[in-house]
Amino acid sequence: MKVLVTGGAGYIGSHVVRLLQQRGDQVLVLDDMSAGVPARIGDAVAHHLDLAAPGAHDALVSILRNDVDAVIHLAARKKVGESVELPEWYYAQNVGGLATLLSAMRDTSVNRLVFSSSAATYGMPDVPAVTEDTPCAPINPYGETKLVGEWMVADAARAWGLRAANLRYFNVAGAGWPDLADTAVANLIPIVFAALKANTVPIVFGNDYPTPDGSCVRDYVHVLDLADAHLSALSYLDREDRPHSTFNVGTGTGSSVFEVLAEVARVTGVDFTPDIQDRRAGDPPYLAADVTRIRETLGWSATKTLHDIVDSAWSAIQ
């Protein structure tokens, strides 16, 4: 099959591209390279395009006319703090970019879409594990753009028969291949590695949460497992019975910040005592996935452990 991967030069997108190529699919990559790394995509056909720029619709139409069967849409701005500072730009980029993509897909009758959504759509849930039916209440513009994106996808399904799956990723980490490592120092594991490499002490924000060890609990999913979930979602879109369109992608097991730090110490061999600081605003105590739906409907489950995640991420930056 021929698949267009938007954001394919990014951290997660490049893993999706490589898995598709390994199973023999033809892959086209679309990326504006604002955060993408050209070397990650090797010899895949690459289109350098900002989805939110004027003229993107027509450029997309001509790309999709190359017999594209399906689109995996990962291209988005994803910095929560930046989205609070620049909400209009985040809406223009993430919502505007998706609107342009959907319009071009409709105009070319490309009717299969896997959309990168996020656990940020849930906001501050007060349950240890969220199901897809847990009410969404995002607390920042980034999460809002993802929720609006899901609504747009649902509207396109109703209006013109788009077949779509929204994947709500939890905390993505690790590396499937060393050359595809996460180069942004934005999530816990890369931040801790950066601190250790700089001979500083990692910071823990809050040790008095109502969790077993007092630190926040998150669901860390290996990027290779996550990439594989996109392949399962593509197969699902071919089915006539599709009872659901939104799926949590996580392991179903939460790990606390202290558990992650202990794994980092084991993997790196560096003995450190973190600096405990006050809680940050907007951090829920728990954010972990109930993964029943994706397991039962797509037949997908995560296979990798927290150790695999930390170990692969550390090896990739040596």
By annotation, the residues acting in catalysis are 142
Q: What CA–CA distance (Å, rounded) separates 297 from 1?
A: 22
**Binding flag, residue 35, ligand NAD (CB under 6 A):** yes
Q: Which region, judged by CB under 6 A, interacts with ligand NAD, from 17-25, 72-80, 188-196, 232-240?
A: 72-80
AA letter at 125: P
* Nearer to ligand NAD (CB atom), residue 209 or residue 220: 220
Binding to ligand NAD (CB under 6 A): which residues in 103-132?
Answer: 116, 118
Report the nearest approach of ligand NAD to the CB of residue 73 (Å): 8
Q: Which region, judged by CB under 6 A, interacts with ligand NAD, from 61-69, 169-177, 208-216, 253-261?
A: 169-177
* Nearer to ligand NAD (CB atom), residue 49 or residue 195: 49
**Binding flag, residue 138, ligand NAD (CB under 6 A):** no
Tokens coding 299: 């037949």
Q: What CA–CA distance (Å, rounded) separates 294 from 180?
A: 25
* Nearer to ligand NAD (CB atom), residue 122 or residue 258: 122
**Binding flag, residue 76, ligand NAD (CB under 6 A):** yes
Binding to ligand NAD (CB under 6 A): which residues in 196-235?
Answer: none
User: x/- binding map, residues 249-288, to ligand NAD, per CB under 6 A?
Assistant: ----------------------------------------
Question: Residue 144, Cα to own-chain centre: how many angstroms?
Answer: 15
**Binding flag, residue 31, ligand NAD (CB under 6 A):** yes
Near ligand NAD by CB under 6 A: residue from 97, 138, 190, 202: 97
Number of residues near ligand NAD (by CB under 6 A): 28
Question: Residue 24, Cα to own-chain centre: how many angstroms?
Answer: 23
Side by side, the strands of the sheet bearing 2-6 are 45-48, 26-31, 2-6, 70-73, 112-118, 163-169, 246-249
Contact 120, 142 (CB under 8 A): yes
Q: How many other CB atoms are there within 10 angstroms of residue 178's CB atom?
A: 12
**Binding flag, residue 169, ligand NAD (CB under 6 A):** yes
Contact 279, 209 (CB under 8 A): yes
Q: Which residues sit at the interface with ligand NAD, rule CB under 6 A?
A: 7, 9-13, 31-36, 50-52, 74-78, 93, 97, 116, 118, 169, 171-172, 187
